[in-house]
Amino acid sequence: MRGARPGSKTRVQVRRVHPDRVEVRSDFVATEEPLEIRLVAGSERRTLAVTMRTPGNDFELAAGFLFAEGIVGDRCEVAQISYCQDPELDSEQQYNVVTVVLRRERLPDLRPVERHFTTTSACGVCGKASLEALRLSGCGPLPPGPQLDPAVLRALPDRLRTAQGLFAATGGLHAAAYFDPAGRLVAVREDVGRHNAMDKLVGWAFLESKLPLHEGIVLVSGRASFELVQKAVLAGLPVFCAVSAPSSLAVEVARAFGVTLIGFLRGDRFNVYSGEGRVRWPSRASASTARA
Protein backbone atom coordinates (compact mmCIF):
# COMPACT_ATOMS: atom_id res chain seq x y z
CA MET A 1 0.00 0.00 0.00
CA ARG A 2 1.30 3.43 -0.90
CA GLY A 3 2.29 5.87 1.80
CA ALA A 4 1.77 9.60 1.76
CA ARG A 5 3.49 11.32 -1.12
CA PRO A 6 6.17 13.86 -0.11
CA GLY A 7 4.99 17.41 0.37
CA SER A 8 6.43 20.54 -1.20
CA LYS A 9 7.43 22.01 2.16
CA THR A 10 8.97 20.46 5.28
CA ARG A 11 8.66 21.65 8.88
CA VAL A 12 11.96 22.08 10.73
CA GLN A 13 13.02 23.50 14.09
CA VAL A 14 15.15 26.64 13.98
CA ARG A 15 16.77 29.04 16.42
CA ARG A 16 15.94 32.60 15.45
CA VAL A 17 18.60 34.94 16.79
CA HIS A 18 17.50 38.44 17.89
CA PRO A 19 19.78 41.14 19.29
CA ASP A 20 18.68 40.32 22.85
CA ARG A 21 17.44 36.74 22.75
CA VAL A 22 17.35 33.40 20.92
CA GLU A 23 13.92 32.08 20.02
CA VAL A 24 13.31 28.38 19.30
CA ARG A 25 10.45 27.86 16.89
CA SER A 26 9.30 25.76 13.94
CA ASP A 27 9.52 26.94 10.36
CA PHE A 28 9.01 25.63 6.85
CA VAL A 29 11.72 24.98 4.26
CA ALA A 30 11.30 23.91 0.66
CA THR A 31 11.39 20.13 0.27
CA GLU A 32 14.20 18.82 -1.92
CA GLU A 33 14.13 15.18 -3.02
CA PRO A 34 15.37 13.22 -6.06
CA LEU A 35 13.10 12.44 -8.98
CA GLU A 36 14.07 9.60 -11.29
CA ILE A 37 12.60 9.78 -14.80
CA ARG A 38 12.17 6.39 -16.47
CA LEU A 39 11.30 5.95 -20.13
CA VAL A 40 9.42 2.92 -21.52
CA ALA A 41 8.71 1.95 -25.14
CA GLY A 42 7.49 -1.54 -25.95
CA SER A 43 9.62 -3.96 -23.96
CA GLU A 44 12.48 -1.48 -23.56
CA ARG A 45 13.00 0.50 -20.37
CA ARG A 46 15.66 3.04 -19.43
CA THR A 47 16.38 5.44 -16.58
CA LEU A 48 16.96 8.70 -18.39
CA ALA A 49 17.74 11.20 -15.65
CA VAL A 50 17.68 11.96 -11.94
CA THR A 51 17.16 15.51 -10.75
CA MET A 52 16.72 17.10 -7.35
CA ARG A 53 13.35 18.80 -7.21
CA THR A 54 10.54 20.06 -5.01
CA PRO A 55 7.76 17.43 -5.07
CA GLY A 56 4.66 18.57 -6.92
CA ASN A 57 3.72 18.66 -10.61
CA ASP A 58 6.13 15.76 -11.14
CA PHE A 59 4.40 14.56 -14.31
CA GLU A 60 4.74 18.04 -15.80
CA LEU A 61 8.41 18.11 -14.83
CA ALA A 62 9.02 14.80 -16.61
CA ALA A 63 7.07 15.88 -19.70
CA GLY A 64 8.79 19.26 -19.84
CA PHE A 65 12.22 17.68 -19.58
CA LEU A 66 11.47 15.16 -22.33
CA PHE A 67 10.15 17.93 -24.59
CA ALA A 68 13.17 20.17 -23.92
CA GLU A 69 15.52 17.32 -24.80
CA GLY A 70 13.70 16.58 -28.07
CA ILE A 71 12.61 13.10 -27.00
CA VAL A 72 8.93 13.94 -27.52
CA GLY A 73 7.45 16.70 -29.63
CA ASP A 74 3.70 16.17 -29.32
CA ARG A 75 1.27 15.12 -26.63
CA CYS A 76 0.08 12.14 -28.68
CA GLU A 77 3.54 10.55 -28.40
CA VAL A 78 3.02 9.96 -24.66
CA ALA A 79 0.75 7.07 -23.75
CA GLN A 80 0.97 7.34 -19.97
CA ILE A 81 2.81 9.03 -17.13
CA SER A 82 2.64 7.45 -13.69
CA TYR A 83 4.47 7.00 -10.44
CA CYS A 84 6.50 3.84 -10.10
CA GLN A 85 4.78 0.57 -9.23
CA ASP A 86 8.05 -1.26 -8.46
CA PRO A 87 7.35 -3.54 -5.48
CA GLU A 88 11.05 -3.42 -4.51
CA LEU A 89 10.71 0.27 -3.61
CA ASP A 90 9.06 1.37 -0.39
CA SER A 91 5.83 3.30 -0.73
CA GLU A 92 7.40 6.69 -0.08
CA GLN A 93 10.19 6.20 -2.61
CA GLN A 94 7.73 5.20 -5.33
CA TYR A 95 6.63 8.83 -5.45
CA ASN A 96 10.21 9.78 -6.37
CA VAL A 97 10.16 7.72 -9.58
CA VAL A 98 8.08 8.73 -12.61
CA THR A 99 7.61 6.39 -15.57
CA VAL A 100 6.78 7.80 -19.00
CA VAL A 101 5.39 5.29 -21.51
CA LEU A 102 5.82 6.24 -25.17
CA ARG A 103 3.55 5.19 -28.04
CA ARG A 104 6.28 3.35 -29.92
CA GLU A 105 7.81 -0.10 -29.97
CA ARG A 106 11.39 0.93 -29.27
CA LEU A 107 13.11 3.71 -27.38
CA PRO A 108 14.53 6.54 -29.46
CA ASP A 109 18.28 7.11 -29.67
CA LEU A 110 19.05 8.50 -26.22
CA ARG A 111 22.82 8.82 -26.57
CA PRO A 112 22.78 12.59 -27.20
CA VAL A 113 20.77 13.27 -24.05
CA GLU A 114 21.75 10.52 -21.61
CA ARG A 115 22.40 11.89 -18.13
CA HIS A 116 23.07 8.95 -15.88
CA PHE A 117 23.96 11.09 -12.91
CA THR A 118 22.28 13.06 -10.16
CA THR A 119 22.22 16.82 -10.72
CA THR A 120 21.78 19.48 -8.10
CA SER A 121 18.67 21.63 -7.91
CA ALA A 122 20.78 24.69 -8.73
CA CYS A 123 21.60 23.19 -12.11
CA GLY A 124 18.56 21.07 -12.85
CA VAL A 125 18.86 18.69 -15.77
CA CYS A 126 20.49 21.02 -18.24
CA GLY A 127 19.86 21.07 -22.00
CA LYS A 128 22.42 20.88 -24.79
CA ALA A 129 24.97 23.48 -23.86
CA SER A 130 25.54 25.20 -27.20
CA LEU A 131 23.79 27.62 -29.51
CA GLU A 132 24.59 25.44 -32.51
CA ALA A 133 22.84 22.45 -30.95
CA LEU A 134 19.70 24.57 -30.61
CA ARG A 135 19.87 25.51 -34.30
CA LEU A 136 20.35 21.88 -35.26
CA SER A 137 17.23 20.93 -33.32
CA GLY A 138 15.18 22.58 -36.06
CA CYS A 139 14.26 25.80 -34.24
CA GLY A 140 13.84 28.92 -36.34
CA PRO A 141 13.07 32.55 -35.53
CA LEU A 142 9.87 32.96 -33.55
CA PRO A 143 6.78 34.64 -35.09
CA PRO A 144 5.92 38.28 -34.31
CA GLY A 145 3.91 37.50 -31.17
CA PRO A 146 2.19 40.11 -29.00
CA GLN A 147 2.72 43.86 -28.81
CA LEU A 148 3.27 44.76 -25.17
CA ASP A 149 2.49 47.85 -23.16
CA PRO A 150 5.36 48.66 -20.74
CA ALA A 151 2.77 49.07 -17.96
CA VAL A 152 1.72 45.45 -18.45
CA LEU A 153 5.32 44.30 -18.11
CA ARG A 154 5.92 46.35 -14.96
CA ALA A 155 2.91 44.72 -13.27
CA LEU A 156 4.09 41.14 -13.83
CA PRO A 157 6.53 40.73 -10.87
CA ASP A 158 3.89 41.70 -8.29
CA ARG A 159 1.40 39.30 -9.85
CA LEU A 160 3.97 36.53 -9.76
CA ARG A 161 4.82 37.15 -6.10
CA THR A 162 1.15 37.11 -5.17
CA ALA A 163 0.80 33.69 -6.83
CA GLN A 164 3.91 32.17 -5.20
CA GLY A 165 2.27 30.37 -2.31
CA LEU A 166 5.21 28.06 -1.61
CA PHE A 167 7.73 30.89 -1.74
CA ALA A 168 5.64 32.82 0.78
CA ALA A 169 5.78 29.81 3.11
CA THR A 170 9.45 28.91 2.66
CA GLY A 171 11.31 31.79 1.01
CA GLY A 172 13.38 29.28 -0.94
CA LEU A 173 11.80 28.54 -4.30
CA HIS A 174 12.21 29.68 -7.89
CA ALA A 175 9.19 30.30 -10.07
CA ALA A 176 8.29 30.41 -13.76
CA ALA A 177 4.97 31.97 -14.78
CA TYR A 178 3.06 32.24 -18.05
CA PHE A 179 0.99 35.35 -18.75
CA ASP A 180 -1.25 36.30 -21.65
CA PRO A 181 -0.53 39.55 -23.60
CA ALA A 182 -2.82 41.52 -21.27
CA GLY A 183 -0.73 40.45 -18.26
CA ARG A 184 -3.24 37.96 -16.85
CA LEU A 185 -1.59 35.04 -15.04
CA VAL A 186 -2.38 31.75 -16.77
CA ALA A 187 -0.06 29.30 -14.97
CA VAL A 188 2.77 29.37 -12.43
CA ARG A 189 5.09 26.62 -11.26
CA GLU A 190 7.57 26.64 -8.37
CA ASP A 191 10.58 24.49 -7.60
CA VAL A 192 13.81 24.58 -5.63
CA GLY A 193 15.56 24.40 -9.03
CA ARG A 194 14.98 27.19 -11.55
CA HIS A 195 15.30 24.83 -14.53
CA ASN A 196 12.78 22.48 -12.96
CA ALA A 197 10.30 25.33 -12.50
CA MET A 198 10.59 26.11 -16.21
CA ASP A 199 10.29 22.44 -17.17
CA LYS A 200 7.15 22.14 -15.04
CA LEU A 201 5.63 25.14 -16.79
CA VAL A 202 6.48 23.85 -20.27
CA GLY A 203 5.33 20.38 -19.22
CA TRP A 204 1.97 21.85 -18.22
CA ALA A 205 1.59 23.38 -21.68
CA PHE A 206 2.73 20.14 -23.33
CA LEU A 207 0.28 17.93 -21.44
CA GLU A 208 -2.55 20.42 -22.11
CA SER A 209 -1.65 20.47 -25.85
CA LYS A 210 -1.07 24.23 -25.71
CA LEU A 211 2.34 24.30 -27.40
CA PRO A 212 3.66 26.38 -29.05
CA LEU A 213 3.01 29.35 -26.77
CA HIS A 214 3.40 31.98 -29.50
CA GLU A 215 1.20 34.64 -27.88
CA GLY A 216 2.44 34.58 -24.30
CA ILE A 217 4.97 35.96 -21.87
CA VAL A 218 7.12 33.99 -19.45
CA LEU A 219 8.54 35.53 -16.29
CA VAL A 220 11.14 33.83 -14.09
CA SER A 221 11.93 34.85 -10.54
CA GLY A 222 15.71 34.81 -10.94
CA ARG A 223 18.17 35.43 -13.72
CA ALA A 224 17.87 34.63 -17.43
CA SER A 225 20.34 31.83 -18.19
CA PHE A 226 21.05 30.22 -21.55
CA GLU A 227 19.21 27.05 -20.57
CA LEU A 228 16.06 28.90 -19.56
CA VAL A 229 15.93 30.98 -22.74
CA GLN A 230 16.64 27.81 -24.72
CA LYS A 231 13.60 26.16 -23.14
CA ALA A 232 11.52 29.23 -24.00
CA VAL A 233 12.62 29.04 -27.65
CA LEU A 234 11.68 25.36 -27.85
CA ALA A 235 8.26 26.14 -26.33
CA GLY A 236 7.69 28.95 -28.84
CA LEU A 237 7.63 31.70 -26.20
CA PRO A 238 8.34 35.07 -27.86
CA VAL A 239 8.81 37.13 -24.67
CA PHE A 240 11.12 36.13 -21.82
CA CYS A 241 11.27 38.30 -18.71
CA ALA A 242 13.48 37.96 -15.64
CA VAL A 243 13.63 39.95 -12.42
CA SER A 244 17.43 39.65 -12.48
CA ALA A 245 20.19 39.75 -15.07
CA PRO A 246 20.65 37.73 -18.26
CA SER A 247 23.86 35.96 -19.18
CA SER A 248 25.78 36.78 -22.36
CA LEU A 249 24.75 33.52 -24.02
CA ALA A 250 21.10 34.09 -23.05
CA VAL A 251 21.26 37.40 -24.93
CA GLU A 252 22.89 35.69 -27.91
CA VAL A 253 20.21 32.99 -28.04
CA ALA A 254 17.42 35.56 -27.72
CA ARG A 255 18.80 37.64 -30.58
CA ALA A 256 19.38 34.60 -32.78
CA PHE A 257 15.80 33.34 -32.43
CA GLY A 258 13.88 36.59 -32.20
CA VAL A 259 12.99 36.48 -28.50
CA THR A 260 12.19 39.68 -26.66
CA LEU A 261 14.52 39.37 -23.67
CA ILE A 262 13.81 41.63 -20.70
CA GLY A 263 15.93 41.71 -17.56
CA PHE A 264 15.95 43.57 -14.25
CA LEU A 265 12.16 43.80 -14.39
CA ARG A 266 11.68 45.55 -11.05
CA GLY A 267 9.65 48.53 -9.95
CA ASP A 268 9.10 50.96 -12.82
CA ARG A 269 12.21 50.06 -14.86
CA PHE A 270 13.48 47.21 -17.00
CA ASN A 271 16.16 46.51 -19.60
CA VAL A 272 15.41 45.20 -23.09
CA TYR A 273 18.29 43.15 -24.51
CA SER A 274 16.69 41.94 -27.73
CA GLY A 275 13.40 41.98 -29.61
CA GLU A 276 12.52 45.56 -28.68
CA GLY A 277 10.00 45.69 -31.56
CA ARG A 278 7.39 43.88 -29.42
CA VAL A 279 7.38 46.68 -26.84
CA ARG A 280 5.07 49.67 -27.47
CA TRP A 281 7.26 52.63 -26.64
CA PRO A 282 5.59 55.89 -25.53
CA SER A 283 5.70 58.46 -28.32
CA ARG A 284 7.63 60.82 -26.04
CA ALA A 285 10.25 58.21 -25.18
CA SER A 286 13.76 58.89 -26.37
CA ALA A 287 16.87 56.77 -26.25
CA SER A 288 20.03 58.05 -24.64
CA THR A 289 23.47 56.50 -24.70
CA ALA A 290 25.77 56.67 -21.71
CA ARG A 291 29.48 56.19 -22.09
CA ALA A 292 31.24 53.87 -19.69
**Catalytic: 84?**
no
Write down the pLDDT at residue 123.
59
Asked whether the predicted pLDDT for residue 221 surpasses 70, the reply is yes
Type and span of the H or E element at 123: none
Asked whether the predicted pLDDT for residue 119 surpasses 60, the reply is no
Q: Which of 84, 123, 126, 139 is catalytic?
A: 123
Tell which residue, 218, 278, 222, 275, has the closest CA to residue 251. Answer: 275
Sign of CA dihedral 246, 124, 126, 98: negative
Write down the pLDDT at residue 128.
45
CATH number of 150-278: 3.40.140.10
Task: Tell me which of 149-163, 259-273, 276-290 is least confident.
Answer: 276-290
Write down the pLDDT at residue 1.
41
Asked whether the predicted pLDDT for residue 130 surpasses 60, the reply is no
pTM of the model: 0.87
Q: Give 21-41 pLDDT, tens digit per residue.
A: 989 988 888 888 999 999 999
pLDDT, average across residues 88-99:
78
What are the residues whose beta carbons fall under 8 Å from the beta carbon of 174, sequence distance 6 or more? 190, 191, 192, 193, 194, 196, 197, 220, 221, 222
Asked if omega into 238 is within 30° of 0 (cis), the reply is no
Asked if residue 127 lies in contact with residue 227, where contact means CB atoms within 8 angstroms, the answer is: yes
pLDDT, average across residues 137-142:
75
